[in-house]
Structure 1
Amino acid sequence: MRRYVEGVELNVRTFLRTPLNAVLALVLPIVVIEGWGQAMAGLPAMPTVEAVPLTMGRLLGGVFGVAIIAGLLGLAQMISARKADRRLVQTGYPSWTLLATRLVTLGGVTVVVATVNYGVLRLTITPEAPVLAFVFLALAGVVYAFIGALVGAVLPRLFEGSLIVVFLAMMDAFLSGDSPLAADVPEFVQYFPLYHPKELLQAAVFDGTFATADLVFVGGYVLVLLVLVTVVFGVTMRTSGGWST
Structure 2
Amino acid sequence: MRRHLALFTTATRYTLTEHLRNRFAMVLVAVFIPLWTMLAYLVMPDSPARMRLRATGEVLAPRGNEITELSGALNAVTLITGFMMFAATFAGHDFDRRLAMAGYPRAHLVLAKVAALALASAAVSAYATVITWLIWTPRQPFLLAVALFSAALTYGVLGVGFGAVMRREVEGMFAILMTSIIDLGLQNPITSSGSESPVTRFLPSYGAMQTSTAAGFSTADVPGQIAMQLCWFAGAGLIALLAFHRRTRNALPPAARPLVPRPHRTSSDETDQTDETANAGTTAAG
Q: Decide: shared fold, TM above 0.5.
A: yes
Instruction: State the SS of the aligned residue for 1:209.
Output: coil
Q: Which has the higher contact order (CA 8 A, sep 6+)?
A: 1
Counterpart among 239, 245, 266 of residue 234 in structure 1? 245
| Alpha-carbon distance between aligned partners in 2 of 1:208 and 1:10, rounded to the nearest angstrom | 41
Is there any run of 5+ residues in structure 2 with no aligned partner, and where? 50-60, 254-286
Q: Secondary structure of the residue that 1:178 maps to in structure 2?
A: coil
What is the one-letter code of the residue matched to 1:10?
Y
Task: Provide the rounded CA distance (Å) in 1 between the counterparts of 2:242 and 2:145.
Answer: 30
Structure 1 residues 108-166: Cα deviation after superposition (integer angstroms, max 9, x where no partner): 11111112211211111212222121111111111111111111112142111101101
In structure 2, the residue matched to 1:130 is 141
Question: 1:103 pairs with 114, 131, 143, which one?
Answer: 114
Counterpart CA distance in 1 for 2:43 and 2:94 is 41
Question: Which whole-Å CA distance do the structure 2 matches of 1:111 and 1:156 have between them?
Answer: 29
Q: Which residue of 1 aligns with 2:29?
A: 25
TM-score (norm 1): 0.88
RMSD between aligned residues: 2.5
Give distance in 2, aligned partners of 1:111 and 1:212: 19
Structure 2 CA distance, aligned partners of 1:42 and 1:170?
24
Describe the shift of the 1:239–1:179 C-alpha distance in structure 2 as closer, same or farther (beyond 3 A): farther
2:151 aligned with 1:140, yes or no? yes
State the distance in 1 between where 2:147 and 2:195 align: 26
- 1:8 corresponds in structure 2 to 12
* Higher Rg: 2
Unaligned 5+ runs, structure 1: none
Task: Describe the SS at the equivalent of 1:132.
Answer: helix
Identity of aligned residues (%): 20
Counterpart residue type for residue 90 of structure 1: M
Q: Residue 57 of structure 1 is aligned with which of 68, 84, 91? A: 68
Kindly indicate whether the alpha-carbon contact (under 8 Å) linking 2:101 and 2:249 is maintained by their aligned counterparts in 1: no
The normalised TM-score by structure 2 is 0.76
The 5 Å alignment of 1:94-243 reads 94-180=105-191, 184=195, 186-240=197-251
Report the more deviating stretch, 93-102 or 231-240: 231-240
Cα gap change, 1:210 to 1:239, in 2 (>3 Å): farther
Stretch deviating more after TM superposition (151-160 or 179-188):
179-188
Separation in 2, partners of 1:106, 1:228: 16
Q: d(CA) in 2 for partners of 1:182 and 1:129?
A: 21
C-alpha contact 1:114 1:134 (8 A) present in aligned 2: yes
1:74-116 per-residue CA deviation (whole Å, 9 max, x = no partner) reads 1111101101011111211111111110121122111111122
Cα pair 2:36 2:72 within 8 Å, conserved: yes
